Amino acid sequence: MRKSVLASITAVVLCSTVVSSAWATQPLNTAGTGTNSAEVLKAVSGYSNQIEDSYNPSIFQSFMQYSSPDATQKAEEKEKQLAFQTGGATVDNQMVTVDRPNVHVTANLLTSSTKENKTYATVDITKQVRYLPKPGTTITIANQKRDYLDSTSVTRHVLTLEKPTATSGLKVTNDVIQTPAEDSKIAPLSQRNLAVQPLAANSSAKRDYNTNQAGLNYIKEINYADKWSTSSKMNPAFPSSPNRMANCTNFVSQSLYAGGLKENLFFTLNNKDLALWTWRLPVPHGGKLTGPSLTWDNADANYWYMAHRSNAFKVNNNMSQMWQGSLIYASWNGNGHKDHAMVVVGLAVKGNRVEPIIDSQSNTRHQIWFEQEQNYARNHPKVKWYGLQYYDDRW
């Protein structure tokens, strides 16, 4: 099923490990500046159709070869290859098959501009894909076995569009996925006070099977993450950035709070205090009287708090051991600074292989294979992944 591309006016700021200044309203950019917007819309719509087609190999054949001497044909084949990288190439054919009638790809053009005969278009691409487990594969979400997995992703891309000949239409010649940028304003771990003690554990006699010693119920955590990851809309009950690309850690914190992890709130005017974890610090924030602590909405600070203070997780960088309720963080430059965070909501298991299934925001991910998230990070060749394993002292 295909829908027409919608043009819109929006701010484009690429950061989700956000500090307080990022919560201010960003200036608007005008879509289509210096560009024939109708022509760009047509090209972007065609590219989203190519991504959808890439899930069906029977109609998507020539993406691997540049066989034609014709410039237009070469451009079409290049576009197919790029579309396949974003679409069909992300499918784990060993564990699942794609239910092709339930594949829908749409694109939303945000901005476009032209420079030196190249058009640059910022686009949100939404993919909705149903996966069916192959024999021997078990898919579990929130401890419930699933007969299929309905995955949704909304990913921001910057597309380069060019005309292969003077008379041909625009074709996509490059596709760069936008990911949260590292925030250099946060002090490295070596400069932080690491003497903060973990919070006290709750008695095992006072908690149910799904709740750990920190009071975190991983089923409630997952249910919240699943509810608020089907689109880029954030829960209005919490503060959030007006920039869609700046809510990844905020979303993780909301999920943990919904799961029962208690705020650590005391009076201070220092929102960077790593002993805090709250969304309602009494410090003016974005025009409001209260706002989040740095540990709530910044991936690097959040990782430190959850690893050293929360008493809910254990450090474990083996992604195959990130069971339900665990957290995964990305360091785009591989320097140890955490730039992005996500919640593990389920698992796919086949034989000895275990694949986490994640939810996140900025970009939006709903029940996505972690392997697919790794594919989305292909523009970061030095990326490293860090895990915090959900921990229960009774296990």
Q: What is the pLDDT of residues 59-70, one digit of tens each?
A: 665 445 555 667
pLDDT in tens, 362-373: 889 999 999 999
**Residues 316, 387 contacting (CB under 8 angstroms):** yes
- One-letter amino acid of 216: L
Contact yes or no for 302/253 (Cβ under 8 A)? yes
Average pLDDT over residues 341-353: 96
For the ranges 18-22, 34-38, 207-211, 259-263, the lowest mean pLDDT is seen at: 18-22
> Domains of the chain (ranges plus CATH)?
6-177 (3.10.450), 189-390 (no CATH)
pLDDT digits (tens, 9 = 90+) for 129-182: 999 999 999 999 999 999 999 999 999 999 999 999 888 899 999 999 988 664
Closest by CA to 124, choosing from 244, 2, 251, 252, is 244
Place of tokens 């006290």: 200
Average pLDDT over residues 348-358: 95
Model pTM score: 0.85
Would you state the pLDDT for residue 345? 98
**What average pLDDT does the chain have?**
82
- pLDDT number for residue 10: 29
- Rounded percentage of the chain residues whose pLDDT exceeds 90: 57
What does each C-alpha distance from 304 to 130, 184, 276 come to in angstroms?
35, 16, 11
Mean pLDDT of 286-298: 78
**Given a cut of 70, is residue 104 above it in pLDDT?**
yes
Distances (CA, A) of 148 to 74, 137, 365: 37, 11, 17
Give the whole-angstrom CA distance, residue 47 versus residue 65: 18
